[in-house]
Structure 1
Amino acid sequence: MRILVMGAGPAGLYAAILLRRARPDLDVRVIEQNPKDATFGFGVVFSDQALDFLRADDPETADLIEPHMQRWSDIVVNHSGTRIAIDGIGFAGIGRLELLRLLQDRAAGLGVVPDYGHRIDDPDTLPPADLVIGADGLNSVVRGATPEAFGARIERLENRFVWYGTPRDFPALTQSFVETPHGRMNAHHYSYAPGRATFIVEMGPDTFARTGFDGMAEPDYRAACESFFADQLDGAPLIPNNSTWRQFPVLTCERWHHQNRVLVGDALHTAHFSIGSGTRLALEDVIALVAALKAADWDVPTALPAYQAERQPVLEKITRAARASADWYEEFAAHMDLAPWPFALSYIRRAGRLDADRLQRLAPRFAADLRRQGIDLEAA
């Protein structure tokens, strides 16, 4: 059986790993348009219990990755000069390039080495394959050849954001909300390795228009961002890597497969970066796809509909929460009218999944701090 995987990001590499673990006799080929180790972004974030979903099915890969992860147990919200720690909501981070190299080594150990620098513009020109897995991201060639067959829709949110790194440590995943001469801005910043962190700057469209960043060279708007977030950076510079201003694309697909082609990860869906689940969702898609293939005894026409039927309800629950979080960020400037403690409560409840009882169980210290501030969780 010949399987072609388009894309050698985390989803594509992990697809190759699971396929060869399940059936060493499979002919698995991975094609990647970029050179090896060419990657955008800095750190990858997983929510708490980051690799439990991997350990259940693939302990070898979990053992490979876990020692390289930075972990923290709090979220910190900075607003109006007040630093508020929210306990019980842990995350783990790892450098994206480091994660890719670990998965590359794991795949190579199973006999799969991606074909890098191989650009395919038309899937009809692909080598013959019984199954084509589109793990080629938002700009997927597999999906883009026949978007109507997948029922694909892309909506871009209004906020502008830019992705940087910085050579410093942060003790927790931190959200900093600041006032600037142009309007309100926020930064998502977190460590993913000793002395290395991701730093994402975000603002609404009106603030963005007042900054003039749209017509500015990258070094100039980078310097401006360093100035606006000088307290958070504490003298550290911002490090660019394809650091252009973007609007987050919300991608959905009504159908996940077409003929012998199937989508996973960002080729299939996106989840706003504020919930830190994009890579995890991609890997879980791959786990579900390979499980469906095994359950169908590797019959592709049977497996692909089963993959969507089994995985879609779980995915939709998470992507609904991600959209609710994104919607909160779209209005974060208005939320900043709140005093720091009510603001922090609004922030942590932004996905709509934390009632008073669950918040008390999940973050008892934060819940106690709120009550000391005179905030009634049941009424809030």
Structure 2
Amino acid sequence: MRIAVIGGGPGGLYFAYLWKRRHPDAEVDLFEQNPADATWGFGVVFSDQALEFLRADDPDTVDAIAPRMESWKNITLNLRGESVEIDGVGFSSIGRLELLTLLQARARAAGVAAHYETVVQSADQFSGYDLIVAADGLNSLVRRTFEKEFGASVTTSTNNFAWYGTTKTFATLSQTFVATERGSFNAHHYRYSPAMSTFLVECDAATWNAYGFADMSIEESQAICERVFAKTLDGHRLVSNKSVWRNFPWIWNERWSHRNMVLIGDALHSAHFSIGSGARLAIEDAIALVKALETEADTQAALARYESERKPIVKKLVTAARTSADWYEHFPDHMKLDLMDFAHSYITRSGRIDDARLSAMSPQFMARYEASRKMGAHHGA
């Protein structure tokens, strides 16, 4: 079987590696427009459950990645100079480039032929292949070329965000909410190596317009973000890597394959960064596609199986991501709550965690939250 994989992000690399490792006689070519050592963004996050899922299928890869990861068991929320920790929410992170380098090495060792700095102009270039796996990201050429056939829809969130790094390292996955005279900001920040953290800054459209970010250079925007989060950064600078303001793109495809082309990862669906699942979803797509192709002798039947088995799982996650993103679209309103009510609103925002589950998962936080409720009721009486 001759397979072309377009896109050398986590999903494309992982599919290429997995297929070639399990089918050494297959011909697997991977095409990536960037150099092997180029990446935008900083760290990527995996929940503990995501790593367990991967361990069940591919313990070797988890064993290769895990030692390079930073891990923590809590989330910290900062509001109006106060902090609260939500216990029992385990995450691990790794630099995006470090993750890609590890996956590149595994793909290479398995015998994948990777072609870097290769710009794909048209899907027609791949006429000799039995299967084309489009792992070419948010701006997928394959999806854009066959938009109607895939039933593609692309919309954007109204909030703006810019993705920075910083040399300030944080103990846990943290969120800091800051009100200024011209509007409210939120930063998602966590360490992904002993010396570096991701620092993603977000604001609503009203704040973005009030600051006039549309007319600013990357450097000017960065300087304002440094001032807004000066206390959090504690003397450290923000680091830019193509850190332009963007609106989050919502991508969904009703049909996941067309002819011998199939979509995975961000080319297929996007899940808001507030639930930290982009790389995880892409890798899980790759696993699901490999399994479907191994189960069905006929490629078309395999692609149909991949969609029918994987779609309900992804839909659930994407729905939770949309609900989570909706909370962020209104975060300046939530900031008016007192700290404990704010934290409760935050942790239950996606609709997947109710109080019973929260009590089991985060007993210390729930004890503090319930005590604050009793206190509020007592004061109100």
Q: How does 1:156-305 map to 2 (within 5 A)?
A: 156-297=156-297, 299-305=298-304
Three-state SS of the structure 2 residue aligned to 1:148 is helix
- The code of the aligned residue for 2:111 comes to G
| 1:95-128 Cα shifts (integer Å, max 9, x gaps) | 0000000001111110114100111121012251
**Cα distance in 1 for residues equivalent to 2:189 and 2:113:** 34
| 1:218-247 Cα shifts (integer Å, max 9, x gaps) | 111111110000011001000000100000
Q: Which 5+ residue runs of structure 2 have no aligned equivalent?
A: 376-381
Q: Which 5+ residue runs of structure 1 have no aligned equivalent?
A: none
- The code of the aligned residue for 1:309 comes to S
**Cα distance in 1 for residues equivalent to 2:220 and 2:129:** 48
The answer as to whether partners of 2:28 and 2:113 remain within 8 angstroms in 1 is no
| 1:277-312 Cα shifts (integer Å, max 9, x gaps) | 111011000000000000013x21110000000001
Residue 59 in structure 1 maps to residue 59 in structure 2: yes
Structure holding more helix per residue: 2
1:150 aligns with: 150
**Cα distance in 1 for residues equivalent to 2:136 and 2:263:** 9
Alignment TM-score, normalising by the size of structure 1: 0.97
**Cα distance in 2 for residues equivalent to 1:256 and 1:127:** 19
The answer as to whether partners of 1:44 and 1:192 remain within 8 angstroms in 2 is yes
1:350 aligns with: 349
Q: How does 1:25-64 map to 2 (within 5 A)?
A: 25-64=25-64
**Cα distance in 2 for residues equivalent to 1:276 and 1:133:** 23
The answer as to whether partners of 2:3 and 2:29 remain within 8 angstroms in 1 is yes
Give the total of aligned pairs. 375
> How far 1:51 moved relative to its partner?
1.8
**Cα distance in 2 for residues equivalent to 1:72 and 1:295:** 38
**Cα distance in 2 for residues equivalent to 1:221 and 1:16:** 39
1:69 aligns with: 69
The answer as to whether partners of 1:285 and 1:311 remain within 8 angstroms in 2 is yes
Three-state SS of the structure 2 residue aligned to 1:44 is strand
1:119 aligns with: 119
**Cα distance in 2 for residues equivalent to 1:31 and 1:62:** 24
2:366 aligns with: 367
2:314 aligns with: 315
**Residues 1:229 and 1:45: Cα distance change in structure 2 (over 3 Å):** same
1:97 aligns with: 97
Over the aligned positions, Cα root-mean-square deviation in angstroms equals 1.0
| 1:150-208 Cα shifts (integer Å, max 9, x gaps) | 00001101000000000121000001000112111110000000010000110000100
- The code of the aligned residue for 1:324 comes to T
**Residues 1:234 and 1:113: Cα distance change in structure 2 (over 3 Å):** farther
1:4 aligns with: 4
- The code of the aligned residue for 1:326 comes to A
**Residues 1:375 and 1:211: Cα distance change in structure 2 (over 3 Å):** farther
**Cα distance in 2 for residues equivalent to 1:281 and 1:177:** 28
Identity of aligned residues (%): 51
> How far 1:63 moved relative to its partner?
1.0
**Cα distance in 2 for residues equivalent to 1:125 and 1:16:** 18
